[in-house]
């Protein structure tokens, strides 16, 4: 028993010696100097900034995702009742359009007196345009206007900035050809509506002429213009791409416009448009080829040309369709006196 006790005491002494040795190592001046240099050196200024940097990163990512969600899920804006059309004596009927992916779109159809039909489309976050519908219908054209998917009274869970909306244009075009198989087809597209029309028209020769009002040459331009903070707008693009499954580079207005050429195109842009760069319209004009014309005006914002210059807008747009589709351009040629060119 005495021998076992002696061995146990010896073991405890050995552990104690080892512990004291470890404690003595902690007291070594070199080790302490390293700890002191970390606590008193420049690193001590970075430590408090780590939570702030993490919080800022979280806010940037959250804001970008929120903006991306907004772009792909625009707030609903319900269309007018048609009261203006009724007051102007323009007949119309409410129609439903069926897309190839199973959505039902709500729209208006007016049958005109001449064998030409204009498809009228709207921009992001908007709905069918009663003023443009009335403007064109008053001059004898048939008009079909509707709400894009995820807009107005139409079905749809998300917006794709014109990519999948091209399916909506195809549905409208098929409806128009079924209603008026002998009519020539034109297209008026505002902003995103122009992108959707270009994607569809680049594959559908039935669309013979296009008016493009405030249409971006690159879909990323409006996002960068509206969301001016660099990291946030980049995250917003990535978020929108993830939500739609479409890369921004897949939306190619310039390439689709080159394919549409040499059919006639009329491009409209205000120089006070804060959503587009001034180069957008010039790039579209170059892509559209020799049968394209451009109208620019200073002091006019995004999709505001009709509001700012209603009478001139009527002459220019209706005159364009008259020459391209209705073969009655000599009437408006005299009115315009050669104005349907680039005006700055």
**Collapsed DSSP state (helix, strand, coil) of residue 76:** coil
**Per-residue confidence (pLDDT) for residue 55, from 0 to 100:** 76
Q: Which residues of the chain have pLDDT under 70?
A: 1-50, 226-229, 328-344
Q: What is the 8-class DSSP label of residue 303?
A: T
Half-sphere exposure of 238 (CA within 13 A, CB side): 12
**Per-residue confidence (pLDDT) for residue 344, from 0 to 100:** 30
The CATH code that applies to domain 86-222+251-336 is: 3.40.50.1820
Q: Which of 244, 294, 235 is nearest to 270 (CA)?
A: 294
- Spell 204-228 as b/e; 16+ CB within 10 A means b: beebbbbbbbbbbbbbbebbbbebe
pLDDT (tens digit per residue) in 18-65: 444 444 444 445 544 554 555 555 656 566 666 777 777 778 788 888
Distance (Å, whole) CA 278 – CA 216: 10
Q: Which two tokens stand for residue 93?
A: 């009927």
DSSP lists the bridge partners of residue 116 as 184
**Per-residue confidence (pLDDT) for residue 43, from 0 to 100:** 56
pLDDT (tens digit per residue) in 63-90: 888 888 888 899 888 888 899 999 999 9
Residues in the chain, how many? 344
Distance (Å, whole) CA 270 – CA 283: 15
Omega of the bond prior to 302 within 30 degrees of 0, cis? no
Is the Cα dihedral 135, 138, 142, 148 positive or negative? positive
Which residue ranges make up each domain of the chain? 86-222+251-336
pTM for the model: 0.80
Q: Which two tokens stand for residue 190?
A: 């505002």
Q: CB count, 10 Å around CB of 138?
A: 17
Residue with tokens 């069926």: 98
Distance (Å, whole) CA 72 – CA 123: 13
**Per-residue confidence (pLDDT) for residue 226, from 0 to 100:** 67
């Amino acid at each position: 028993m005495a021998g076992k006790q002696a061995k146990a005491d010896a073991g405890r002494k050995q552990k104690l010696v080892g512990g004291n040795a470890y404690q003595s190592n902690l007291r070594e001046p070199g080790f302490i100097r390293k700890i002191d240099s970390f606590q008193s050196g420049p690193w001590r200024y970075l430590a408090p900034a780590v939570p702030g940097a993490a919080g800022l990163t979280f806010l940037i990512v959250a804001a970008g995702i929120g903006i991306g969600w907004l772009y792909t899920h625009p707030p609903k804006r319900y269309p007018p009742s048609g009261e203006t059309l009724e007051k102007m004596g323009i007949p119309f009927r409410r129609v439903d359009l069926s897309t190839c992916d199973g959505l039902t779109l709500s729209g208006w159809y007016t049958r005109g007196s001449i064998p030409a039909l204009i498809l009228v489309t709207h921009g992001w976050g908007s709905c069918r345009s009663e003023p443009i519908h009335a403007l064109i219908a008053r001059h004898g054209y048939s008009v079909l206007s509707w709400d894009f998917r995820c807009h107005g009274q139409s079905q749809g869970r998300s917006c794709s900035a014109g990519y999948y909306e091209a399916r909506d244009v195809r549905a409208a075009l098929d409806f128009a050809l079924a209603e008026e198989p002998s009519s020539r087809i034109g297209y008026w597209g505002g902003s995103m509506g122009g992108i959707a029309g270009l994607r569809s028209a680049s594959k559908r020769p039935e669309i013979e002429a296009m008016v493009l009002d405030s249409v971006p040459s690159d879909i990323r331009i409006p996002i960068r213009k509206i969301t001016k903070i660099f990291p946030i707008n980049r995250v917003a693009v990535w978020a929108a791409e993830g939500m739609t499954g479409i890369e921004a580079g897949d939306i190619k207005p310039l390439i689709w416009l080159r394919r549409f050429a040499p059919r006639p195109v009329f491009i409209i842009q205000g120089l006070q448009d804060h959503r587009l760069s001034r180069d957008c319209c010039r790039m579209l004009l170059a892509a559209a080829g020799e049968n394209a014309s451009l109208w620019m005006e200073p002091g006019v914002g995004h999709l505001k040309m009709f509001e700012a210059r209603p009478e001139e807008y009527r002459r220019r747009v209706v005159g364009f369709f008259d020459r391209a589709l209705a073969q009655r351009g000599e009437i408006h040629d005299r009115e315009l006196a050669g104005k349907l060119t680039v005006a700055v």
